[in-house]
Amino acid sequence: MEHTGQHAKRDGFSSGFGVLAATLGSAVGLGNIWKFPYLTGANGGASFLLVYVIATLLVALPVMIAEIALGRKAKANPITALQTLAPGRLPWWLIGASGMLAAFLILSFYSEVVAWVFAYVAKSVAGSVLSSDRAVTEAAFGTLISDPVQSLVWQWVVLLSMGGILLLGVAKGIEALTKKLMPLLFLLLVLLCAVSLSLEKAADGLAFLFNPDFGKLTGGVVLTALGLAFFKLSIGMGTMMTYGSYFRDDQDIPATAMRVMSADLCVSLLAGIAIFPAVFTFGFEPAAGPALVFITIPAVFAQIPMGQALMVVFFVLTAIAATGATLSLMEVPVLIIQERFGLPRRKATGVTLGLLALTGSTCALTNSTLAGVTLFGMNLFDLFDFVSSNLLLPAGGIFIALFVGWVWGLDSFRQALSNEGRLRNDRLAYMVYFLLRFVSPLLILVVMLKGLNLI
């Protein structure tokens, strides 16, 4: 299982279903349960959702297919992959390097949100957060994030768990966890939706989520929706390239990407339907920000028999889904350090986690020790999120699209998508190629410039 160098034999996913489950395990995570609801709430609801779906179809899905195809072709970490596929020309490998930076920024705040989920497992067991009273659930969350010791220690627990799991290796660690538990989380979300839909002001929640008010769209909102589309599908920084490098040669890449995208969207929608009816019924603020899920979900569980036990299960499953996503994020720096610096996997994992304990602590302490520290009007937690999701991932997307569309070329791309001619998906390949060559890069560029008020 140890990787020793660039040419060491690589682990592969063991089966077609394993590939789907593992890729889904990277996509589904706190992005669905935490980020999607809070951003939708903060950016006006249905109109944001619509832009997000369009961005997913026109931009994120093609880029996801491109990334997986590149990774499978090169069978290496993102930096080496791009050097191999485009030797000696422009510095395309910078995409991999920027991906490594994005991974650290994302992991810094993501590990803290996983820390909150871990803490909520404990709080649910103790029974201290189960309530439909806004004051109670808000106070419980506020106490947690404003306590520097709790925030830090839970983050260390998260990082240590990641270290343990990562050392088991890709195929075993990730596959085993996600395969078994994803369906359970799905079922629990369906139950939560049913409960939420029976609440008094469910209709208001649904209207907020599905009845668009386009007056609420600004350049910034559209950029946030695009950033979310990248974040959701784990693209723009090499994660999917890394996963692609483990794909088997007979795996249908576009079909897998489409299934992952659809399942991921379903989970996000379920989380939204579980949350917004409760927001309106119990008088929460849709724009509550990162706190949203943590303060509203307990209010839903407080409505049902065995609510406490089910809430424990909910946070445990969320913790596991989040862990799967975190592992996929770590896979990029770990693999780069391992293959580029020739370190054994164990050491590469240790180095990554050590660095993360440092950068992550700034996000853990954002609401306590470092509360006054802001840059560009954002605290460090929000800044890391903004720079990674709204700048680095979309920029990575532009270059991945340009690379496939203008350097790698139609023939290589078609060959890769059809598994060297064994699948009949030529028309699809042309379509995705057209999007990658012309549509996605331009669209991303315009949205970024507009979102940053540069045009």
Judged by CB under 6 A, which of 237, 295, 310, 444 binds ligand TRP? 237
Alpha-carbon span 280 to 95, nearest angstrom: 43
Structural element, H or E, at residue 374: strand 374-375
Q: Is residue 323 a contact residue for ligand TRP (CB under 6 A)?
A: no
Task: Considering the complex, state which of residue 188 and residue 325 has its C-beta at the smaller distance from ligand TRP.
Answer: 325
Judged by CB under 6 A, which of 18, 19, 21, 31 binds ligand TRP? 31
The DSSP secondary structure of 66-105, one letter per residue, reads HHHHHHHHH-S-HHHHHHHHSTTSS-TTHHHHHHHHHHHH
Q: Is residue 44 a contact residue for ligand TRP (CB under 6 A)?
A: no
The token pair at 127 is: 């029974």
- Give the binding range for ligand TRP (CB under 6 A) out of 28-36, 43-51, 296-304, 358-366: 28-36
Alpha-carbon span 151 to 159, nearest angstrom: 13
Using N-to-C axis directions, what is the helix angle for 426-434 and 61-74, rounded to 10°? Answer: 110
- Give the binding range for ligand TRP (CB under 6 A) out of 13-21, 113-121, 208-216, 231-239: 231-239
Task: Considering the complex, state which of residue 145 and residue 321 has its C-beta at the smaller distance from ligand TRP.
Answer: 321
Alpha-carbon span 38 to 266, nearest angstrom: 16
The least distance separating ligand TRP from the CB of residue 338, rounded to whole angstroms, comes to: 18
Alpha-carbon span 166 to 344, nearest angstrom: 13
DSSP 4: -
Q: Is residue 232 a contact residue for ligand TRP (CB under 6 A)?
A: yes
Alpha-carbon span 209 to 273, nearest angstrom: 8
The least distance separating ligand TRP from the CB of residue 261, rounded to whole angstroms, comes to: 11
The least distance separating ligand TRP from the CB of residue 38, rounded to whole angstroms, comes to: 12
Q: Which residue has the tokens 């386009």?
A: 214
Q: Is residue 116 a contact residue for ligand TRP (CB under 6 A)?
A: no
The least distance separating ligand TRP from the CB of residue 4, rounded to whole angstroms, comes to: 25
Judged by CB under 6 A, which of 239, 242, 362, 366 binds ligand TRP? 239
Task: Considering the complex, state which of residue 241 and residue 432 has its C-beta at the smaller distance from ligand TRP.
Answer: 241
Amino acid at 300: V
The least distance separating ligand TRP from the CB of residue 184, rounded to whole angstroms, comes to: 17
Alpha-carbon span 20 to 251, nearest angstrom: 9
* 347 Cβ contact partners less than 8 Å away, ≥ 6 residues apart: none
Alpha-carbon span 390 to 402, nearest angstrom: 18
Work out the burial of residue 87: count CB atoms within 10 Å of its CB; fewer than 13 is exposed, 13-18 middle, 19 or more buried: exposed
The least distance separating ligand TRP from the CB of residue 396, rounded to whole angstroms, comes to: 9
Judged by CB under 6 A, which of 18, 25, 29, 290 binds ligand TRP? 29
Give me the residues paired with residue 352 across strands: none
Judged by CB under 6 A, which of 22, 49, 241, 329 binds ligand TRP? 329
The least distance separating ligand TRP from the CB of residue 37, rounded to whole angstroms, comes to: 12
Q: Is residue 56 a contact residue for ligand TRP (CB under 6 A)?
A: no
From residue 262 to residue 301, the character string flagging contacts with ligand TRP as x (rule: CB under 6 A) and all else as - is ----------------------------------------
The least distance separating ligand TRP from the CB of residue 409, rounded to whole angstroms, comes to: 26
* 443 Cβ contact partners less than 8 Å away, ≥ 6 residues apart: 58, 59
Judged by CB under 6 A, which of 231, 381, 384, 413 binds ligand TRP? 231
Site for ligand TRP in 89-108 (CB under 6 A): 106
Task: Considering the complex, state which of residue 37 and residue 307 has its C-beta at the smaller distance from ligand TRP.
Answer: 37
Site for ligand TRP in 8-27 (CB under 6 A): 26-27
Task: Considering the complex, state which of residue 40 and residue 418 has its C-beta at the smaller distance from ligand TRP.
Answer: 40
Task: Considering the complex, state which of residue 146 and residue 161 has its C-beta at the smaller distance from ligand TRP.
Answer: 161
The beta-carbon contacts of 131-134 under 8 Å, at least 24 apart in sequence, are 131/298, 131/299, 131/302, 132/282, 132/298, 132/299, 132/302, 132/303, 133/299, 134/282, 134/283, 134/284, 134/295, 134/299
Judged by CB under 6 A, which of 150, 281, 318, 328 binds ligand TRP? 328
Task: Considering the complex, state which of residue 73 and residue 232 has its C-beta at the smaller distance from ligand TRP.
Answer: 232
Task: Considering the complex, state which of residue 234 and residue 418 has its C-beta at the smaller distance from ligand TRP.
Answer: 234
The token pair at 231 is: 């974040």
Q: Which residues of 129-157 are buried (b: 16+ CB within 10 A; e: fewer)?
A: bbbbebebbbebbeebbeebebbbebbbe
Judged by CB under 6 A, which of 56, 234, 318, 361 binds ligand TRP? 234
Q: Is residue 241 a contact residue for ligand TRP (CB under 6 A)?
A: no
The token pair at 305 is: 């028999």
**Is the Cα dihedral 177, 182, 183, 185 positive or negative?**
positive
# binding residues, ligand TRP (CB under 6 A): 15
Binding site for ligand TRP (CB under 6 A): 26-27, 29-32, 106, 231-232, 234, 237, 239, 325, 328-329
